Amino acid sequence: MQRKALNKKDALWLGFVVLLALLPLAPVVAANSFHMHVAILILLFASMAQAWNIIGGYCGQVSFGHSVFFGIGAYGAGMAVVTYGGTPWPGILIGVMLAAAIAVVISYPCFKLSGHYFAIATFAIVEIFHRTFLVWDWVGGALGLDYPLVKEGLKNLMWYDTKTGYYYCALILFLLIFGVVRWLEGHRFGYYMRAVREGQETAESLGVNSTAVKLAAMALSAALTALCGAFFVQYNLRVDTPMVMSLDMSMKFVLITVLGGSGTLVGPLLGAAVLIPLQEYSRALWGGLGGGVDLIIFGLLIILIVVKQPAGMIGIIRDIGKRVLKQKSAAKGDSADGTP
Amino acid sequence: METFVQVLLDGMLNGMVYALVAAGLCIIWGVMDVINFAHGEYLMVAMYVSYWLGFLLNVDPLLSVIAAGIFIFILGAMTYQLIIRYTIGKPGLVALLATFGLAIFLKNACMNRFSPNFLILTDTWLSDKTLHMGNLIFPVPQLVAGLLSLVVVGMIYALINTTRFGWAIQATAMDRDAAELMGINTDRIYLVVFGIGGACVGIAGGIMPSYLAVHPEVGSMFGLIAFVCVAMGGFGSIPGAFIAGILVGSVEALAGFYIAPVFKYIAVFGLYLTVVFLRPKGIFGW
């Protein structure tokens, strides 16, 4: 019974992914590069939020420091191309490993802090990195790094004519990170993480080494975040500190995951699928009116969603599902099981 | 040596203003366990209130302080009534993200109405005056702002520790249900505490236009520094926030002067990390 339900869910996912993969073939989307841009950003931000979800959602450690790892990944790719004039690939590899290493080093003392003290410590770390990178000439300083025009293709991870190449890269990134989290959900380590989230002392009393679990989750999350950062900079063809390593960027990780539903597999995708089009289309519609209107609406919507449904969109969907179930079962005459 | 004392005193004067901003955040955090992410934006709004009063009606910032304090008290109470009230009892992240949304809203509403340009008041009562004491020079606007902050923080501390209303606040902070059983209207306490927290930052923001330019981004850094001060001082401890504020102001000034201006915030946040790694609940926390 359990096995069958799992298969049905996975088949649903498979169908969804095929749909995503075929999206660029639809002339409505591919002919309009703005729609394509939005689709790429949705996939990218869903991946970023999912990477954050590992430590923030499943492991329960709310980090506002993920833009540090995002930035390290971005600078890794950027410097490999701009400073050293090569392909981005070795830079991506170094960035990912460096992000994981730095995550372990800075998280180890931070995990001793609890609640708001932890959150504010991660704010402080972002600010320290932000300001250091801003004056560090080796990484481009305040000017940032501008990409030179090199031959397009997978070798340089760069396309100019169409965004299709970027789209498929974003899709692969999305599948990779969602796959990792899907695998973690059923794996022993995933249960450890959730145990630490629900009660650290209880988990430790049952023999879970909570510090090791948190550090491993943070390293994995940071490495995947750095991968997203590298893709982001390849897409943007420019990297500077305020763009990739600021508190605003950090907040995006948290916001998308929490609005979608943190600690769930679909949550980050839901959050990105709602917030990113909202941000991009409202900017396109009202961005020219003298500034701010798009963000005013964005701010109000965040308040509304967070206050109305703290569990995120997944909570809204569950509420609707429950109501439908209740109606069905009322018709049948037996009580519905509340758990989804 | 003289330079050192001068820089240190300048930093401490700034630190007193930080302490006032932090004290406002501190009582909100201490009583409701809510991080008000829009705190820096309250400061920015207060500065605009004071600026426009000065620009349109020629009211000096020294008097606008009262208007700004009242305005942000109302803004804070409205924030509680419309947003925070619905987040009490839900995970801590909810209130933080809701106030983050409010911060985006306030920042961009001000940007939309008042343009992103830097606005500065000239010819106020205090501007460009200095006070010489021996070889030390004090800029009068900063001196007045610092002393005013000192007085207001003292008043808040006295309010919480000596009045009946203050005891009610403390009781609510300790145990909401028990306080309710004792006949305290905790909903009203929360409302007023959010208002008082706002009034603190409103007073700080009200006096600032006499020496600082107003623009929509001005509050962000103050907000962050207030978080750091409160956490460094310890959960809900006003003396802790006060000492942390002065410490942060001094370190900021000394690092900016002796190392490089870009390092002042690196030093401040480094100081916070050092303190909490040594004492995970802050200086006065337990």
Is A233 in contact with A244 (CB distance < 8 Å)? yes
**CA-CA distances (angstroms) from residue B272 to A105, A106, B98, B120, B221?**
17, 14, 25, 32, 15
- Is pLDDT of B261 > 50? yes
Report the pLDDT averaged over residues A290-316.
80
Number of Cβ within a 10 Å radius of residue B135: 9
Contact call for A303 and B103, based on CB within 8 A = no
Q: Would you call A303 and B108 a contact, using CB atoms and an 8 Å cutoff?
A: no
Interface with A, mutate which of B25, B87, B104 (most A CBs under 10 A): B104
- Interchain CB contact of A142 with B (< 8 Å): no
In a domain, B238, yes or no: yes
CA angle at B268 for the pair A53 and B232, rounded to the nearest 5°: 70
Chain B residues 225-264 within an 8 A CB cutoff of chain A: 227-228, 231, 235, 260, 262-263
Name the residue in chain B with its Cα closest to that of A122.
B273
* Position B108 in a domain: yes
Q: Across the interface, which of A128, A306, A310 has its CB nearest the CB of B269?
A: A128
Residue of B nearest to A112 (CA): B280
- Please give the Cα distance from B57 to A177 (Å, whole number): 58
**Contact with chain B for residue A123, Cβ under 8 A:** yes
Strands B130-133 and A238-239: unpaired
Work out the burial of residue B37: count CB atoms within 10 Å of its CB; fewer than 13 is exposed, 13-18 middle, 19 or more buried: buried
CB contact under 8 A, B94 and A295: no
Q: Touching check for B221 and chain A: CB below 8 Å?
A: no
Asked if residue B45 belongs to a domain, the reply is: yes
Tokens representing A264?
Answer: 């769930």
Whole-number Å distance between alpha carbons of A250 and A326 = 40
Q: Please report the DSSP string for A89-100 in residue order.
A: HHHHHHHHHHHH
**Cross-chain residue pair A306–B98, CB shorter than 8 Å:** yes
Which pLDDT score, from 0 to 100, does residue B33 have?
84
Task: List Cβ<8 Å contacts ≥24 apart for B185-188.
Answer: B187/B85
DSSP secondary structure of A235-277: HHTEE-HHHHSSHHHHHHHHHHHHHH-TTSSSHHHHHHHHHHH
pLDDT above 50: residue B189: yes
Q: Which of residues B107 and A150 earns the better pLDDT score?
A: B107
Q: Which of A62, A131, A306 lies nearest to residue B262, judging by beta carbons?
A: A131
User: Does B265 sit within 8 Å of A306, measured CB to CB?
Assistant: no
A301 touches chain B (CB under 8 A): yes
A299/B contact by beta carbon, under 8 A: yes
How close, in Å, is residue A196 to chain B by CA atoms?
A: 17
Report chain A's mean pLDDT, rounded to a whole number: 84
Distance CA B79, CA B73 (A): 10
Is B54 part of a structural domain of the chain?
A: yes
Taking a C-beta distance cutoff of 8 angstroms, is the pair B165, B4 a contact? no
Give Rg (Cα) of chain A. 21
The 10s digit of each residue's pLDDT in A196-240 is 888 888 888 888 888 999 999 999 999 999 999 999 999 988 888
What is the three-class DSSP state of A55? Answer: helix
d(CA A257, CA B266): 29
Q: Is A158 helix (H, G, I), strand (E, B) or coil?
A: strand
Tell me which residue range forms the domain holding B223. Answer: 2-127+138-278
Q: Does some domain include residue B226?
A: yes
Pairing of β A145-146 and β A238-239 = antiparallel
- What is d(CA B65, CA B71) in angstroms, rounded to the nearest whole number? 10
pLDDT of residue A5: 52
Q: Which residues contact B60 (CB under 8 A, 6 or more apart)?
A: B54, B124, B125, B126, B210
Closest Cα partner for A316 from A274, A276, A253, A282? A274
Instruction: Report the 10 Å Cβ neighbour count for B88.
Output: 16
Residue among A52, A251, A306, A309 with most chain B CBs within 10 A, to mutate: A306
Q: If you average pLDDT over residues B109-115, what whole number do you get?
A: 86
DSSP one-letter code for A145: E
Residue A136 near chain B (CB below 8 Å): no
Q: Give the pLDDT score at A69.
A: 94
Best CA proximity match to B105, nearest among A179, A14, A298, A171: A298
State the SS3 of chain B. Answer: CHHHHHHHHHHHHHHHHHHHHHHHHHHHHHHHCCCCCCHHHHHHHHHHHHHHHHHHHCCCHHHHHHHHHHHHHHHHHHHHHHCHHHCCCCCHHHHHHHHHHHHHHHHHHHHHHHCCCCECCCCCCCCCCEEEECCEEEEHHHHHHHHHHHHHHHHHHHHHHHCHHHHHHHHHHHCHHHHHHCCCCHHHHHHHHHHHHHHHHHHHHHHHHHCCCECCCHHHHHHHHHHHHHHHHCCCCHHHHHHHHHHHHHHHHHHHHHCCCCHHHHHHHHHHHHHHHHCCCCCCCC
In a domain, B133, yes or no: no
Structure tokens at B167: 């005891």
What the block records as the tokens of B243 is 């000492």
Amino acid at A64: F
Structure confidence at residue B194 (pLDDT) = 92
Q: In whole angstroms, give the CA distance from residue B242 to residue B261.
A: 24
- Residue A245 near residue A7 (C-beta atoms within 8 A): no
Question: What integer pLDDT is reported at residue A13 of this predicted model?
Answer: 77
**pLDDT grade for A340, boundaries at 50, 70 and 90:** very low
Q: Is residue B132 part of a domain?
A: no
Is B185 an 8 Å CB contact of chain A? no
Measure B34 CA to nearest chain A CA, in Å: 9
CA distance A95 to A72: 6
CB contact under 8 A, B101 and A303: yes
A258 touches chain B (CB under 8 A): yes
Span B108-124, mean pLDDT?
A: 84
Task: Indicate whether A293 pLDDT > 60.
Answer: yes
Give residues with Cβ within 8 angstroms of A151, minimum separation 6. Answer: A158
- Mutation target for B interface from A303, A308, A309, A313: give the one with most B CBs within 10 A: A303
Helix (H, G, I), strand (E, B) or coil at A153: strand
The total of structural domains in chain B comes to 1
A296 to chain B: which residues are within 8 Å by CB? 104-105, 108-109, 112
For A176, the token pair is 């990779």
Q: Of B252, B247, B251, B253, nearest to B229 (Cα)? A: B247
Condensed to tens digits (0 to 9), the pLDDT of residues B47-84 reads: 999 999 988 888 888 888 999 999 999 999 999 999 98
- CB neighbours of residue A192 within 10 Å: 24
Tell me the pLDDT band of A85, cut-offs 50, 70 and 90. Answer: confident
> What is the mean predicted confidence (pLDDT) over A312-321?
83
Indicate the SS3 state at residue A146. Answer: strand
Give pLDDT, residue A28: 65
Poorest-pLDDT segment among A63-67, A84-88, B51-55, B90-94: B90-94
Length of chain B: 286
pLDDT over 70 (residue A1): no
- Domain membership of residue B285 (yes or no) is no
CATH code for position B28: 1.10.3470
| Residue A210: closest CA among A198, A224, A221, A222 | A198
**B282 reaches A (C-beta below 8 A):** yes
What tokens appear for A140 in the block?
Answer: 């481009």
With a cut of 50, say whether residue A335 has pLDDT above it: no
Q: Does A119 contact B at CB distance below 8 Å?
A: yes
Give the distance from residue B86's alpha carbon to the nearest chain A alpha carbon, in angstroms.
6
CA distance A257 to A39: 18
Query: Which residues in A lie closer than 8 A to residue B221 (C-beta atoms)?
Result: none
